């Protein structure tokens, strides 16, 4: 069966529209579920605070828990208060988004006033392997579309669309460690330049 240009465009539009709709619905469902869970948890803290004496140790403890929960909700990061303070300092620079900071938080170590951002040997190997796998997958994809598909055939065109979607998904997933490594060096360089990190911070 021969495909016209209009047919090809219609199929592509339908695939894009369907994928977008699924993503939006999933995102909306997750947001509503998270909002309900968060609201209940904060209400529970508020109730516990009311049940405690204002000047009691228990009241201070629950307030600290609520404070940390608020910061966890705001940042999407589960860590200690010292690290939250560092994250707030970094965010206040206006250079990084919270999503970017969140991608770096596992490399951040705050011990009292000492701040280290480390990218270990295992992380380096993971980034190198990630880049290699992206290259290999890309080569397989290019070879496949060159020798295996004929877009004049409806079946082959459908397979090509599916193969392309799988290829892009694999590149995004497999390439994550390499993208993280590239951003890590940018992140650390900017923080060092801003004076937040010492010039000889550990890698």
- Total tally of structural domains belonging to the chain: 2
Q: Which of 199, 197, 182 is nearest to 117 (CA)?
A: 197
188/43: higher pLDDT: 188
**Looking at the predicted structure, is the pLDDT value of residue 80 above 70?**
yes
Quick one: 49 and 139 in the same domain? no
pTM here?
0.64
Position 44 pLDDT exceeds 50:
yes
> Which residue in this structure is represented by tokens 């460690």?
177
Domain extent for 45? 1-75
* pLDDT above 80 (res 93): yes
Q: Are residues 13 and 102 in the same domain?
A: no
- pLDDT for 149: 62
84 domain residue, yes or no: no
pLDDT digits 0-9 by tens, 103-155: 898 888 887 778 888 888 888 898 999 999 889 888 888 887 777 666 666 66
Report if residue 203 sits inside a domain. Answer: yes
Q: State the chain's mean pLDDT as an integer.
A: 79
Residue 105 in any domain: the answer is: yes
DSSP state of 80: -
Residue 200 lies in a domain: yes
* 98 and 70, same domain (yes or no): no
| Bridge partner list, 108 | 117
- The answer as to whether 86 is a domain residue is no
Same domain, 29 and 118: no
Burial of 90: CB neighbours in 10 Å, binned 0-12, 13-18, 19+:
buried
Q: Is residue 187 located within the same domain as residue 104?
A: yes
Mark whether 142 and 49 lie in a shared domain.
Answer: no
């Amino acid at each position: 069966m021969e495909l016209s240009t209009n047919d090809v465009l219609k199929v592509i539009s339908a695939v894009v529209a369907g994928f977008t709709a699924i993503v939006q619905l999933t995102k909306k469902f997750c947001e509503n579920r998270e909002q309900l869970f968060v609201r209940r948890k904060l209400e529970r803290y508020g109730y516990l605070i009311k049940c405690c004496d204002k000047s009691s140790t228990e009241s201070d403890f629950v307030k600290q828990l609520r404070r940390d929960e608020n910061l966890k909700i705001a940042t999407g990061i589960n860590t200690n208060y010292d690290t939250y303070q560092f994250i707030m300092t970094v965010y206040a620079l206006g250079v990084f988004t919270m999503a970017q900071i969140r991608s770096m938080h596992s490399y951040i170590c705050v011990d009292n006033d000492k701040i280290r951002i480390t990218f270990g040997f295992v992380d380096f190997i993971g980034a190198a392997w990630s880049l290699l796998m992206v290259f290999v997958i890309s080569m397989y994809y290019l070879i496949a579309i060159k020798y295996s598909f004929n877009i004049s055939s409806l079946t082959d065109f459908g397979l090509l669309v599916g193969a392309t979607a799988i290829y892009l998904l694999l590149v995004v997933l497999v390439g994550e460690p390499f993208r993280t490594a590239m951003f890590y060096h940018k992140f650390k360089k900017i923080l060092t330049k801003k004076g937040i990190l010492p010039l000889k911070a550990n890698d």
